[in-house]
A and B are shown apart, each in its own frame.
With several copies, the nearest count.
Chain A
């Protein structure tokens, strides 16, 4: 069980691919910083490998004007929720 942190936009699709190779059946992906753009419906393909186990950091989505535009399948978590995810998952891995 692993928490993956990702901070790059879907334009960096090489990262999304490498992450998908390491993504396990019980893992979770948190989109922060410019990775918030992956939570737009138009970028759904970039998240297809992660089976709906994807969250986005609310404050980063908000500053980018994305809160009203997010894909339905993506959960929104605040910074306290980010910390809680790192507590729940015993390990984390940051992709950038």
Chain B
């Protein structure tokens, strides 16, 4: 079912963070993604261990080559570049969401791990707190 680029990561099952933020909305068309990442950044700044799971159209947030909008409105690409600075290094993406959109991990601007459905189930249930945007 999985090829090289969407191989499940062996180390994802037991990880428990303080907060998992699930991002389901695409960038640009609304501010869901941006305001969701804001919560992740602030939680990290408050010393919480935070991870991000991209599902559905949320995987488009990671597509390489994005820019600002035509009226200079910021996309999420600049914001995502701040993740590492805030020690948010756990990025997961839904493997099925990638497949449905014709994307592979090679299309993404940041390193992420692709998870199949059962792994997403395990990941979500290992977290004490989860917010969805």
Contact = CB atoms under 8 A, between A and B. Distances in A.
The answer to whether A and B touch directly, with their CB atoms under 8 angstroms apart, is yes
B26 to A, nearest CB: 5
Contact of B75 (A9, A20, A63): A63
Given A91-B129, A91-B130, A33 B124 contact: no
B68 to A, nearest CB: 6
Interface in B10-42: 22, 24, 26-30
B28 A34 contact: yes
Given A9-B57, A37-B57, A94 B28 contact: no
B56 A15 contact: yes
B70 A63 contact: yes
A77 interface: no
Q: Is the interface of A mostly helix, strand, loop or mixed?
A: helix
A8 B130 CA distance: 19
A52 B46 CA distance: 40
B27 A11 contact: no
A55 B101 CA distance: 19
Given A23-B121, A62-B67, A94 B29 contact: no
Contact of A21 (B55, B68, B128, B132): B55
B48 interface: no
Nearest to B123: A22
Interface stretch (B1-9, B58-66, B80-88): B58-66
Interface in A16-39: 17-18, 20-24, 33-34, 37
Contact of A95 (B65, B96, B132): B132
A56 to B, nearest CB: 14
Interface in B68-97: 68-70, 75, 94, 96-97
The 4 nearest A-B residue pairs measured at CB: A42-B102, A34-B29, A65-B65, A65-B66
17 contacts: A2-B125, A7-B29, A8-B29, A15-B56, A18-B55, A22-B124, A23-B121, A24-B125, A37-B57, A43-B101, A63-B70, A64-B27, A64-B60, A65-B66, A91-B129, A91-B130, A93-B132
Given A34-B28, A43-B102, 4 more contacts: A9-B29, A22-B22, A42-B100, A60-B28
